């Protein structure tokens, strides 16, 4: 994708942008550095992107920080990713809180190291009254796992007589997902040229505009986000109908 020739149209900025931050390992390899170096530079890209999203008027930004499948990576790399979440929150939470960012974490909490669960709870509690930008970090997250956990809770509620099986429809189902109350992503970006969803927001991305860019995540920032939004603004959203849907 080319860089933007102009800035995006402010009136038609996607309300919710979701990003698969891919390519950290390749970025590091190109520089003969360890993969973990790519991940730390990935945090810098995340910081730039959060700032840019706020500036551009995006209301929800969801990023894929650690997937339920990432446990298959070497322990050293898994630990580095957990450390980066700790570091990011330790370094940026006060600033995010001050700037009106609400932080939420989606994914399986069970089995996470104790301090991580605490860090997540603290970040969410500290920012829960903010509403300028919602930053949603998918951590220990898998779309299939999220749907299975929702189904389990629905089954429990049905068994307890709190919910009728006949009342389960997509809207009701969505209230059991980690993203309950959060609108579906309008645009889903994946960096690094890979053309897959990789188990990210499987339910929520049903009608998201998919934008694949070649840039490796550590090189991402405001110009890349603007270019992606411009590409989004050239798309016509029909949601299964024949006419463009009014926003």
Q: What are the catalytic residues?
A: 22, 70
d(CA 184, CA 165): 24
Residue number, 13 or 43, with CB nearest to ligand FPP: 43
Residues between 11 and 70 that touch ligand FPP (CB under 6 A): 21-26, 35, 39, 42-43, 46, 65-66, 70
Reduce the DSSP state of residue 99 to 3 states and report it: coil
Binding mask 104-143 for ligand FPP (x = CB under 6 A): ---------------------------------x------
Residue number, 92 or 230, with CB nearest to ligand FPP: 92
Q: Whole-number minimum distance, CB 109 to ligand FPP, in Å? A: 15
Pairing state of beta strands 101-106 and 209-212? unpaired
Q: Which of 84, 116, 154, 228 binds ligand FPP (CB under 6 A)?
A: 84
Q: Is 199 exposed, middle or buried (0-12, 13-18, 19+ CB in 10 A)?
A: middle
Apex CA 148: angle with CA 147 and CA 154, to 5°? 90
Contacting positions for ligand FPP (CB under 6 A): 21-26, 35, 39, 42-43, 46, 65-66, 70, 81, 84-85, 88, 137, 192, 217
């Amino acid at each position: 994708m080319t860089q933007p020739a102009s800035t995006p149209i402010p009136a038609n900025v996607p309300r919710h942008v979701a990003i698969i931050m891919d390519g950290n390992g390749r970025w590091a390899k190109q520089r003969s550095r360890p993969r973990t170096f790519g991940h730390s530079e990935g945090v810098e890209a995340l910081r730039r992107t959060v700032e840019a999203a706020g500036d551009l008027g995006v209301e929800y930004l969801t990023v894929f920080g650690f997937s339920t499948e990432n446990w298959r990576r070497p322990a050293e790399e898994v630990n580095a990713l957990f450390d980066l979440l700790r570091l990011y929150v330790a370094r940026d939470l006060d600033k995010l809180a001050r700037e009106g960012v609400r932080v939420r974490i989606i994914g399986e909490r069970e089995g996470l190291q104790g301090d991580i669960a605490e860090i997540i709870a603290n970040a969410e509690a500290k920012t829960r009254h903010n509403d300028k930008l919602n930053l949603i970090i998918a951590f220990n997250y898998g779309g299939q796992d999220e749907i299975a956990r929702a189904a389990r809770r629905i089954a429990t509620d049905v068994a307890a007589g709190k919910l009728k099986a006949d009342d389960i429809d997509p809207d009701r189902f969505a209230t059991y997902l980690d993203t309950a109350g959060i609108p579906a992503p309008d645009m889903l970006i994946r960096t690094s040229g890979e053309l897959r969803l990789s188990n990210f927001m499987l339910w929520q991305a049903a009608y998201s505009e998919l934008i694949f860019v070649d840039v490796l995540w550590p090189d991402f920032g405001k110009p890349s986000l603007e270019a992606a939004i411009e590409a989004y603004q050239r798309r016509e959203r029909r949601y299964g109908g024949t006419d463009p849907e009014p926003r």
